[in-house]
Chains A and B, each alone.
Chain A
Amino acid sequence: DQQVKQNSPSLSVQEGRISILNCDYTNSMFDYFLWYKKYPAEGPTFLISISSIKDKNEDGRFTVFLNKSAKHLSLHIVPSQPGDSAVYFCAASGSSGDKLTFGTGTRLAVRP
């Protein structure tokens, strides 16, 4: 039972344009969401997060949007840069925060 889904396994974007990565979840008890970026043979690094009481959180080029009614979140990267090419995972946790449930990841390729 995949509680966090990233339905697009890959995405290719031109440098300078916007990258939009999507994530859907099924568990209504999730109330905190995170995005991680991962390069090959390395551990994921934390990018940005959002709590369920918000619908938007921004950090530089990265913005996360949360639509609770649709159980959907998205990560916007603008402008996209070649160094953004990596696998992006969304993750979710309940209020206790002791466990994260990860999606399957989306591989982003930013073309120069």
Chain B
Amino acid sequence: DGGITQSPKYLFRKEGQNVTLSCEQNLNHDAMYWYRQDPGQGLRLIYYSQIVNDFQKGDIAEGYSVSREKKESFPLTVTSAQKNPTAFYLCASSIPGTSWGRPQHFGDGTRLSIL
């Protein structure tokens, strides 16, 4: 059954620590994305990657880093530089080039709480 797996579902970290969120997909999609959702707000794009070993900053990339060493995996690191990291993080994937008829598919998210 193809899909996107985000782990863990809930994550707690102390302030000042870096934390890495996992995202794996078996849909054979080239493009992958990270979004952040805060209460009462829409999804905001953090980083995206159209192809292995390449990625671009989204609208709110400060304090985050990513890597794309494999097609299936797009981990997101929330660094200590991110001023307000507590949020719900969503990973998505799609066939790149155009979204015509090819919507992004989402994982079930990771809720990060900084203690």
**Which residues of A line the B interface, CB within 8 A?**
4, 6, 9, 32, 34, 36, 41-46, 49, 51, 89, 91, 93, 95-105
Contacts and interface: CB of A to CB of B under 8 A. Distances in A.
Given A41-B108, A45-B106, A104 B97 contact: no
Contacts of B107: 43
A44 B42 contact: no
A98 B50 contact: yes
A3 to B, nearest CB: 10
SS of B interface (majority):
loop
Contact of B42 (A43, A46, A93, A104): A104
Interface in B26-69: 31, 35, 40-45, 48, 50, 58
23 contacts: A6-B42, A32-B99, A32-B100, A43-B106, A43-B109, A44-B90, A45-B106, A46-B103, A46-B105, A49-B101, A51-B100, A91-B43, A93-B99, A96-B97, A97-B97, A97-B98, A99-B45, A99-B48, A100-B99, A100-B104, A102-B42, A103-B42, A104-B42
